[in-house]
Amino acid sequence: MSERPINFHGLHIRKWFTYEEETLAIESGRLADGEPVVKIVIAAVIANPHAGKYTESFDDVIAASEHLGVEFGRRIQERLAGRKVESYGKAAVVGVNGEYEHGNAFLTTTFAKPIREAVSGAYSWVPSTGKRGGPGTEIDIPLAHKDALYVRSHYDTFSVSFTDAPGPDEVVIVMAVATRGRLHARLGGLTAAEAEGKDGLR
């Protein structure tokens, strides 16, 4: 990988993406049962420092990912404009000169902790996925309740792609949040109102 100038805590970030979706009615036309569901995606296109080679340690990326998480949290809060987060998920798309593991290195607890703090509470683990691919690769980001994974109404997905990313030596790191569960969720089970959030499950 050719050297790229550092512009963010040991990383080279080429581009930020922000997507927002607001759903007012379900597919059959029934209007929202309460507030619409707003989903927000923040993504960063980052030069992959390990592209094209095998490495045993990802300590450099993990350390830098804490600063990345702080910036993701700030951008999420800015976009929310006072709205609350109820669910979240994360993902990585790794360019073809990288390994799937290179994306995972950016998505550890070190990255997620500042985001949890930014969205308040967040007792449950952040559902995660990833893949390798080129520019325009679509990724399905899984969503689940931020405090209690057993809340079925908040299982959801946000599918996105990025027009010119990732390049072969890049990785796209993605975070998605939603302001509520699915509209008219009716599969039973633990509700968001009943969740205690003590163990991240219930």
pLDDT digits (tens, 9 = 90+) for 69-108: 999 999 999 999 999 999 999 999 999 999 999 999 999 9
Task: List C-alpha distances in Å: 198 to 79, 148, 149, 194, 201.
Answer: 28, 8, 11, 12, 8
Domain ranges of the chain: 13-178
What is the CATH superfamily name and number for domain 13-178? BB2672 (3.30.1330.110)
Residue 195's pLDDT is 84
pLDDT, one tens digit per residue, over 169-196 is 999 999 999 999 999 999 999 988 888 8
Coil, strand or helix: which one is 172? strand
C-alpha to C-alpha distance for 178 and 129, rounded to whole angstroms? 17
Mean pLDDT to the nearest integer, 21-34: 98
pTM of the model: 0.94
Report pLDDT for 120: 86
Q: What is the pLDDT of residues 104-162, one digit of tens each?
A: 999 999 999 999 999 987 789 899 999 999 999 999 999 999 999 999 999 999 999 99
Amino acid identity of residue 175, one-letter, is: M
Who contacts 48 (Cβ-Cβ below 8 Å, separation ≥6)?
Answer: 1, 94, 95, 97, 98, 102, 166, 169, 170, 171
pLDDT band at 200 (very low <50, low <70, confident <90, very high): confident
